[in-house]
Chains A and B, each alone.
Chain A
Amino acid sequence: MLNRLKSWDRLGLRLFLLMWGALAFSHLVAWLMLSQVLRGNLGPMKPPVGAAPSMRTDGPCRPPAGPPRGFGPGGFHGEGAEDFGDLGPPQHRGPQMAPPAARQAPMPTFPSLPPNLPWNASLVDYGVRLLIIAMAAWWGSRWLAAPVRRLVSAAQQLTPALAQGRPAPSLDEEHGTREVQEAAVVFNRMAAELSGQFEERGLMIAAISHDLRTPLTRMRLRLETGEVEAKVRDRCVDDLREMNRLVESVIEVFRPADMAQPQRVDLSALAQSAVDDLAETGLAVSFDGPPAVVRADPVAMRRVVDNLVGNALRYAGHARVSVQLTAGVTRLVVDDDGPGIPEAELARVHQPFRRVESSRNRETGGTGLGLYIAQQLVRRQGAALALSNRPEGGLRAEVVF
């Protein structure tokens, strides 16, 4: 029985009932109030002069100033209407406006109202109807928009949730109209499938990469122990290193994100250490900036700094790292004076395995995953990575917290 009722619970029906109910209700309330107003006006209206001030809408709550004059609780429809016909404010009842039918057609009868109301009574009438219909429409529109809003916000959360390895958001499948429930079911299924596929793909690639380590280790050892010509061995070792870098990067990309535990870290100390470590090996990197505390996973942030600086070193031969504090926003900036990236390519370098063709080829090293990993890691910290070409030339990579 309940289910049969539920199957009728469609958006259209609800909307129909709402509008219909609101209209009927507004008529009823307007009529009730008006009748109160008119009844309240009866007394003071007897002497037409000075009636106006007491004709305001506070009528219903206020006992009639004058004697009810036959306005008994039950006698409203009959006598009252007749009385009204007699006693309406004369200033609004020009002779031409006083139809002879006023007496024969007693009023007010629900829901119609007499055509010749006093101006303030019309005001109450229209005001009440407008107010009630407006409120119903406002409430109805909010009510209608709510499931759509929920759907939009769930859809917005889906991408970051998938990127960060969090469970996908789910919608309430039990409440709302049939359309809303159906949309929730479809969305939830889609989100579950997506996150399942994401996870599966990640696990598979991580497993393959992981299993590649054993043969890589074997080959590396074989190169040392077997009878291999030194020149061949060196080249093979280089290849193995490159394969290993790739494997590591891939694992980095698909590593479950929940390993990262954000803590409060001094971003400047972190960047300074990364720069000092590189400078210690003779690379041209510098750092400058005030202490700045951010919430981040230090291991991931270190990787981000290393990747961005590594990128600058690879294409420009040097890097300038700085931390900037402006208006509550903390930025980690990596600048270089290299060739930069053509504007058309800028948006795409975040993509995995993307290298800018002319300047960024395999010869200059890199797997094409560096910026992608940096971006993924930065996102997981709730920050953003922005790349831009500096007006002076060179590339600027910014991590904005």
Chain B
Amino acid sequence: MNGHCLVVDDDAEIRTSLKTYLEGFGWRISTAADGGGLRQAMLSAKPDVIVLDLMLPGEDGLALLRWLSTQPDSPPVLMLTARGDTMSRVVGLELGADDYLAKPFEPRELVARLQALLRRSNKGGPLQDDTRTLRFGRWRFDRLARQLVSPDDVGVALSSAEFRLLAAFVQRPGRVLTRDQLIELTRAPGVEVNDRSIDLAVSRLRAKLGDTAREPSVIRTVRGEGYLFDAEVSAC
């Protein structure tokens, strides 16, 4: 049995098919067609997670996101955007959406994302550390654009493997992480993560950070144990 999900979409057929589909995976579904419906649903039975279409008639998804973020104890939101609509995606994530999917999406993908959101919210604590940019040393790490910004303001793109690794590191600065832990932390659907790929990603990251394996100053090798991210991380 999964949780309770509120689907907000103005298209009636999408609402009903999503309901049928998600119910097949054990979700309890309520639906709303617009902002008014969302507010009402929030009053009656608080959902565990919300699927929110950004393109809504009347009050649009972004306004609703803003409203939701003012509510006490608001559930995590997965927003449905138009692909290529980077602007509203960025704004949406900054307004407190926890994840996004572009329409048309793979139904399976939606189920996986919803379950991940539910797991994270059940664990308690911050769902997602929602600061977009973190600072360590003289570098900035833009988690939305998935890039590093060097001390002299040059954008350094990260591959997904490097991004996942760095995202894991910055959340655990000053702690030794074994390769097994890193494999666990950087697991992603569709790719095989192993010792070798972790080592490769570490060396690529070091190269991008101007670190050398001989004298690494940011990502240190702890002999026989793993790696340690040796920098103070702060929001910026």
Is B one of A's binding partners? Answer: yes
Give A contacts to B, CB under 8 Å: 210, 213-214, 216-222, 224-225, 240, 244, 248, 251-252, 255, 259, 263-266, 269-270, 272-274, 276-277, 280-281, 293, 298-299, 302
Interchain CA distance A170-B103 in the complex, whole Å? 40
A296 to chain B, nearest CB (A): 9
- How many Å from the CB of B46 to the closest CB on chain A? 25
Q: A266-B156, A281-B190 are in contact. Are A217 and B105 (CB under 8 A)?
A: yes
Docked Cα-Cα span, A274 to B49, in Å, equals 33
The size class of the interface chain B forms with chain A is 35 or more
Chain A residues with CB under 8 A of B131? none
**Inter-chain contacts of B104 with A (CB < 8 A):** 213, 216-217, 219-220, 240, 244
Whether the pair B159, A280 counts as a contact (CB closer than 8 A) is: yes
Considering the complex of A and B, which 10 residue pairs feature the smallest CB-CB distances, nearest first?
A276-B159, A221-B17, A273-B159, A217-B104, A265-B155, A270-B157, A216-B104, A269-B156, A273-B157, A225-B20
Residue of B21, B82, B87, B159 touching A277 (CB-CB under 8 A): B159
A66, chain B: closest CB distance, angstroms: 78
* Candidate in B87, B103, B159 with the most chain A CB atoms within 10 angstroms: B159
Nearest-CB distance from A244 to chain B (Å)? 6
Q: How far is the CA of A265 from the CA of B147 in the complex (A)?
A: 10
Instruction: Name B107's contact: one of A214, A216, A221 (CB within 8 Å).
Output: A221
- Does B91 belong to the interface (CB within 8 Å)? no
Q: Is B154 a contact of A266 with CB atoms below 8 Å?
A: yes
B86 located at the interface, meaning its Cβ lies under 8 Å from any Cβ of chain A in the complex: yes
Smallest CB-CB separation from A210: which chain B residue?
B82
A213 to B14, CA, bound (A): 11
Which residues of chain B from 80 to 110 have any CB-CB distance to chain A below 8 Å in the complex?
A: 82-84, 86-87, 103-107
> How far in angstroms is the closest Cβ of chain A from B188?
9
Convert B146-180 into 0s and 1s, putting 1 for each residue whose CB lies closer than 8 angstroms to a CB of A. 01001001111111111000000000000000000
20 intermolecular pairs with C-beta atoms under 8 Å apart: A213-B82, A213-B103, A216-B103, A217-B105, A218-B17, A219-B104, A222-B13, A222-B17, A251-B83, A255-B84, A263-B153, A265-B154, A265-B157, A266-B154, A266-B156, A272-B204, A273-B158, A273-B162, A281-B191, A298-B147
**In whole angstroms, what is the CA distance A299 to B147 when docked?**
11
| Measured CA separation A216–B204 after assembly (Å) | 39
CA distance A280 to B20 in the complex (A): 36
